[in-house]
Amino acid sequence: MRSKWLFPAVFAATVFAQIPAEVKPALDRITPGDLKGDVSFLASDLLEGRATPSPGLDIAAEFIASKFRAVGLDPGGDDGFFQTAHLKQVEPDMTGFKLELANGKETISLETDSVAVRNMAPVDLAGVETVKSGATDRKGKVVLITMRDLRHYGGLDDLRKSGAAMIIVTGFRPHPGPRIVVDDSENVPVVFVRSDRVTALLKADAAVKVTAHIAAPKQKAIVVRNVAGVLRGSDPVVKDTYVLVTAHYDHIGIKTEGKGDRIYNGANDDASGTASMMEVAGALSRLPVKPKRSVVFIAFFGEEAGLLGSKWYGSHPAVPLVKTVADVNLEQMGRTDDDSGRQVNNATMTGFDFSDVPQIFAKAGELTGVKVYKDNNRSDPFFARSDNQALADSGVPAHTMAVAFEFSDYHGVGDEWQKLDYENMAKVDRMVTLGVWMLAQSDKVPNWNASNPEAKKYVAAAAKLHDSAAAGATK
């Protein structure tokens, strides 16, 4: 049976005839072969999984910059096409580690193999009182919280602002090795614990006290780079407003042990998004008349390490955030073997009802034969899991476009370039190109959906962004 979103040939011809004549040649420039070439290089063994930081990541950055130069984009960084970030790589020092939780009846002593530590300074606590996450008075106390509840209390950043002495998170244990820190906001130490006994303490009413010793972590300075290029707008009135097209170019590197293939090539996640972003840039740059607004193309580092490149950009924007009308972030654009079923002529966006942006791409999809839809199970939960989040937190309407949310070898060594559907990827990228052009060409700007409770914080962030800009303009 023909799927309802696969257009019959006659209807497809009618739909394509509606695409503005001035932009159609740009869509035609996007080919499966070009995309395959880009992805196969970015996801090659030579780049060793593009970990942040690594020589492979640096090679990828140079490749992206060369593509931006080739299509005539203007440099968008502080060093040509590169936006340089000076960060810290932090590795826990578990020498002399001690963490005890006592409730008067029993004392639980945790071993290093059941914890992962995030601290920026040494920790010494003796019998400090614990409170559960919902407590209003957390200052100087140890907060006990489950991983599941963490999101409901604003995440780690909000808990840190409460002045807690330590945060203990149960039910999840991240990788205990080195991590990268964007800023010094991690002033409150966090210990992730996988222990059924500690989880039981959260459910009990008895008072719990914590004694802990954690050495200062080992630190070293690192330099990593976002890659940014600008397609200047053509309209004298709105050329200094911006649409962002973004993707992350890093992945998770190499397995530390094991036999056989140990390289996490990251073809779909996210060489496919990076290649798509570059091809959209190439297509729009060849238009004889550029879009009215400027379009900024950015490849972010460190998404897999905690959305690091986009967080850096959010606090060090290449163009003013108040003049940035939208961001479309591209993730996992090439695989059609989604765990929920095959996705052909389909694309989805996270936070589908959070702003006007997805409706613009839905219209672009109607014109190009691609159904842009809301995944009712995953659209909202996945909103915070990609690089759109930092822009959204700043008030900019920002969403992630994807074809597959999850697939069989997601974050596995099997995510290689040969498994992508480049014909479908090219079709979806033509839709993305048209949607970006529509955003950049429109006199109207998208807005957050004030009637959606899930978008409330972003509505407030946008108001704060524009109010701050207005206040600054009057000084």
**Average pLDDT for residues 418-444, to the nearest whole number?**
97
State how far Cα 268 lies from the chain centre: 14
Q: What is the mean pLDDT of the chain?
A: 90
Separation of alpha carbons 165 and 188, rounded Å: 6
pLDDT value at 467 more than 50 = yes
Q: What is the pLDDT at residue 425?
A: 98
Q: What is the pLDDT at residue 153?
A: 63
List residues bridging with 143 in a β-sheet: 131, 167
Q: What is the pLDDT at residue 16?
A: 38
Of the ranges 69-73, 113-117, 260-264, which is most confident?
69-73
One-character DSSP codes across 413-435: TT--GGGS-HHHHHHHHHHHHHH
pLDDT value at 470 more than 50 = yes
Cβ atoms of residues 388 and 244 within 8 Å: no
Domains of the chain, start order = 9-88+221-474 (3.40.630.10), 93-216 (3.50.30.30)
Helical spans, DSSP H, in 208-271: none
What predicted TM-score, i.e. pTM, was given to this entire model?
0.86
136 pLDDT band, cuts 50/70/90, is confident
Q: What is the pLDDT at residue 448?
A: 98
In SS3 terms, 258-289 reads as CCCCCECCCHHHHHHHHHHHHHHHHHHHCCCC
Q: What is the pLDDT at residue 201?
A: 77
Q: What is the pLDDT at residue 256?
A: 82
Measured between its terminal Cα atoms, the distance across the chain in Å is: 64
pLDDT tens, position by position, 299-340: 999 999 889 999 999 999 999 999 999 999 999 999 999 999
